[in-house]
Structure 1
Amino acid sequence: MDLLRHLSFFVAVAEEGHFGYAADRLGMTQPPLSQGIQRLEARLGVVLLTRGSRGAQLTTAGAALLPRARDLLANAEGFTAEAERLRESRGALRVGVVAALSDWHVAAVTTQLRTCAPDPNPRTVITTTASTAELVDAVGSGGLDCAAVHHPALIGSLECGAIIKVTRWLLVPADHPAADAAKPSLRSLKGLACATAPRSHGTAAFDLLVDTLRGKGLDPAFLPAAHDRDAVMAVAAGRAFALTTDPLLRVPGVACVPIPGDDLALRVRLVWSEAGAPEPVRAAFEAALRRERS
């Protein structure tokens, strides 16, 4: 007896309240549906449904078991979906990046990894964007082969590469004085909040940003902005400034200006487990992160 199939019969009849309607929903005729319910009841040793002038009615046992039947069917669908995901990703290189890296950097990483040694043929690369904490957990559990995360960060027992500084630019409201300044001063941003990833995405990196801004005479409030889009909306609204790794970001109401020095550069490093990505893959990943967009 196919328990899941017969449970789907039960759930359909319970939700439709009618054997005929449930049969139409399942794409079958009514007699085999009724027979299936009877076989299920015989298997379980309880009556689940009764027929009446108002259609099919749940018994006390049926009402108690219906939520469990739904859970079993949902879990079976999730199991199948996960198996399909694993089948599709078999042999693929699974990498992760923090959202602070621009779309250009993510594309550069993915493109370079597709053709890096030791594989002579292009491979499938599955790239995940997540917070540093989530990426570290995924690498540690084997869900990712390697990931570019914020530095500093707690990485536990994972291996890590050199610190890579990715140049960042300042996003300010287009009508703010800093938008037209030859050398914008961070002090001139007083009164604006800083739109950046929330502290939970990378506690140590967030604290470093706070300390760096304070060292430059700026102590702003912070608006959570997990992605560039969130930051851009806050800047365009005149509420905040933000940092971006995309120097060519051009949107109405927002100016992208250079920041002197590299104190506010995005600091990332590659992390991997002992059984993770091989050295040629890691080298290609880091090389892509070091590329500068012109």
Structure 2
Amino acid sequence: MDIVGHVRCFVAVAEERHFGRAAARLGMAQPPLSQRIQRLEKELGVRLFERTSRSVTLAPGGALLLDEARALLTRADTFLAGAAHIRDGRSGLLRAALPSGIAGELVSAILAVLHRNQPGLEVELHELSTAEQLARMASHELDAGLIHHPCDTTGLELGPVQRRELGVLLPPASPLASHTEVPMPALTGHDLILFPRDDAPAVYDELLTTCARGGYTPDTVRHGQGDSFIRGLIHSVNAVALTPPDPGHPADGGDQDIVWRPLTGTPLAWRFSTAWPKDRNSAAVTAFAEAALEVLRNTTGVSTDLSSRPLHLRPASEYWL
């Protein structure tokens, strides 16, 4: 029995005091309305109306239940509206992730666009590596994320792949800091600072392969992610780091303790896209993907990737020379 629908009929008749007018208000014929009232009375065991050929009035039991019936309909309407908001991505919980090391300005901008477009949506945002994001999406613990390529995209939907050129971070005293741009072979003799390989194995291997093909094979690969830690390594162990341009890494050096230089020929780049499980293509996920894409496309050095390079994993042997 559709209790809410039957109670809605009861309230309409009680307020109109007329079956014909109540039926018109509800958009139904009068006989089915009368049948619904009779069934509701039978289900409740309470007489709701006194009927004569000329009038319809509330029975004592109906009068006592009318306020409760109205409250029930209000709660039902609130429940249905809430469900519609969740279905349409205007409220509810979205579990999303961004990669480690993404600039704070980008994080806040993505959240601002999400809150602007979906003000009722609660966002549970995590900082996770590509590998962690893939694992959590596979176990249904994450609804969407921003991942680096190449990686295993089995079972995922992807947004447009974006590209961001990488340059090199150097101490201002380095002879290479005097260059407008740095040739890859000139990095020989410097250690290289990269994120831990477990974070994105294929990306890690591809970067080292590209460096080797460009004439730079570091003697030592050191691992670090925090900005302060990376700066410390650059200053103390003759190391360099590969990173996109950032306001905190000025190309002119200035009075900063670190400088950023582009690489000749722009041989290195991050490739990334939004991703979500194929069975999670909800309005909330779409809102996250659109917000991330909007912010990233307005970020310095980001462009749509037009290359034919694969997004899927390749044999590890291809990465090493």
Q: Secondary structure at the match of 1:257?
A: strand
Cα gap change, 1:254/1:235 in structure 2, threshold over 3 Å: closer, same or farther? same
Matched, 1:189 2:190: no
Going from structure 1 to structure 2, the CA distance change for 1:238 and 1:153 (only over 3 Å counts) comes to same
Q: Which residue of 2 aligns with 1:209?
A: 207
Q: Is the 8 A contact 1:101 1:245 kept in 2?
A: no
1:101-120 to structure 2, matched below 5 A, reads 101-116=102-117, 119=118
Work out whether residues 173 and 238 of structure 1, in 8 Å CA contact, stay in contact via their aligned partners in 2.
Answer: no
Q: Secondary structure at the match of 2:222?
A: strand
Shift of 1:151: 0.2
Which stretch of the first structure deviates more once superposed, 226-235 or 188-197?
Answer: 226-235
How far, CA to CA, are the matches of 1:270 and 1:196 in structure 2? Answer: 22
Partner of 2:295 in structure 1? 288
- Measure, in 1, the Cα distance between the counterparts of 2:224 and 2:99: 13
User: For residue 96 of structure 2, what is the aligned residue in structure 1?
Assistant: 95
**Letter matched to residue 271 of structure 2:** R
Kindly indicate whether the alpha-carbon contact (under 8 Å) linking 2:191 and 2:237 is maintained by their aligned counterparts in 1: no
What's the CA shift string for 1:201-244, capped at 9, x where partnerless? Answer: 11110111011101110001211113333322211224311122
Task: Describe the shift of the 1:151–1:101 C-alpha distance in structure 2 as closer, same or farther (beyond 3 A).
Answer: same
The 10-residue stretch of structure 1 (155-164 or 207-216) with the greater mean CA deviation from structure 2: 155-164
* Structure 1 match to 2:272: 268
Change (3 A) 1:245 1:107: farther
Report the TM-score when normalising by structure 1: 0.62
Gaps of 5+ in 2: 1-90, 250-254, 302-321
TM-fit CA distance, 1:99: 1.4
Q: Post-superposition, which runs of at least 4 consecutive aligned residues in structure 1 deviate over 3 A? A: 250-253
Any unmatched runs of 5+ in structure 1? 1-89
Mapped to 2, the partners of 1:196 and 1:285 lie a distance apart of 24
Kept in 1: contact 2:110–2:292 (CA 8 A): yes
The number of residues matched between the two structures is 202
Deviations 1:36-94 (A, max 9, x none): xxxxxxxxxxxxxxxxxxxxxxxxxxxxxxxxxxxxxxxxxxxxxxxxxxxxxx92322
Superposed, which structure 2 residues align to 1:124-139 within 5 Å?
124-139=122-137
TM-score (norm 2): 0.57
Change (3 A) 1:108 1:265: farther
SS at match of 1:92: strand
Provide the alpha-carbon RMSD of the alignment.
2.3
1:1-294 correspondence to structure 2 within 5 Å: 91-116=92-117, 119=118, 121=119, 123-220=121-218, 221-250=220-249, 252-273=256-277, 274-278=279-283, 279-293=286-300
Larger Rg belongs to: 2
Q: Matches of 2:228 and 2:151 in 1, distance apart?
A: 24
